Structure 1
Amino acid sequence: MKKTFAVIGLGRFGGSICKELSREGMEVLALDLDETKVNEYREIVSHAVMADSTDEFVLKELGFTNIDHVIVAIGDNIQASMLTTLILKEMGIKMITVKAQNDYHEKILNKIGADQVVHPERDMGRRIAHHIISDNILDYIELSDDHSVVEVKAGEKMGGQTLIDLDIRAQYGCNIVAIKRGKEVIVSPMAAEEITKSDVLIVIGADKDINRFEKHLVVEG
């Protein structure tokens, strides 16, 4: 059966989630206190409602107990975000993802039972920072506080060398888990695989090791 989603808060973050889930054919209930925003999403999502998410009776009336995954994307009102999360938890919602404004907010959300806490602005800031270090760094995804996945263009320094030659695992403590070569994706590449300068490498490792790898092999100048 198709999963059902609810998104509370139709700012940039919540709105983009609504659009993407709807584009993927998911059933989405969108909720906000702002009538203008609600009207904007009426033609995009399955249902768009103007309502107060801190009112448990309203959420039950709207059928939230039947929703598989609720995303709390409330903007600046931290109190409303926390109270909404608490109500959803007490209602027995299977999966609750909440947007955090800061680390303090995240700590409270974790204590009251949020299943997943996201920091879109902070995480995007990190990704952009890594990208602007070098044009060769295409993307950066944080896996934990100290481990990440980075997507990089091989460039001149690595072009023409094999994975054995580069010995990235021994030299930097990172692992190349895949190589994107045009439309082809090579998963778990062999040690004898020769890198071309136009390859895109998917590298996983500890942040400190990835930073050394970036400085020595990726950043060109």
Structure 2
Amino acid sequence: MIDIRDFHVRYGNNHVVRGIDLAVAKGECVGIVGESGCGKSTLLRCLVGLEHGWQGHVAIDGKPVGQRRTHEELARVQMVFQDPFGSLHPRHRIGRALSEPARCMGLPHGRDRIATALEEVGLPAAFADRFPHELSGGQRQRVAIARALIVEPPVVLLDEPTSALDVSVQAEILNLLSDRRDERELTYVLVSHDLSVVAHMCDRVLVMQEGCFVDQLTPEDIGAGRASHPYARHLIAASFPDAA
């Protein structure tokens, strides 16, 4: 579903992503972990079409894409951002936040469609008339997930989707994402600082350092404290002292 080869991102003299390769199968969930500034969120922004200054080969669902995307190409990849409040317009009601992407992509966007989209993420249809500040953090992130899914993308990119939420809400959001993945055969790429999140969600985890993938782990590797690269072992030891 995702095929990236020899992928580079540069901002002036700053070489942020350094010639990485990444292949993600249909229905797979791949996690990317690493310190802030290692390039993981930049990679997601390039994949979704928000950043244009990249070089390399990128194909989505077997079709190469360039730096500028068509509507059809944009609809294939959607993103759920880290901050569920900042990613929603504060003066737009929830119904408008959901209807605009569907309308832009030429899809049904009436009240019935909005009600269905809200119900799919566990929210009542009446929330369409609310503003973002009237919702909790977990409810806002559910709206953000609904907004990503309403254009029916095969690929969803998740940029630390639970890091701004209370611990008690994180599991609910992760379970919601897992359920939607199973129902729709979605392909996920999940970026997180939290190894416990990626171990719960992902089929495999790539460790990123200074713009490169330095190790690949399974959830079982994380639980057992197994890693080849010293940086990966450091991340596991910091997150799971008993497993290291």
* TM-score, normalised relative to structure 2: 0.31
Structure showing greater radius of gyration is: 1
Q: Structure with the greater relative contact order (CA < 8 A, sep ≥ 6): 1 or 2?
A: 2
* TM-score, normalised relative to structure 1: 0.33
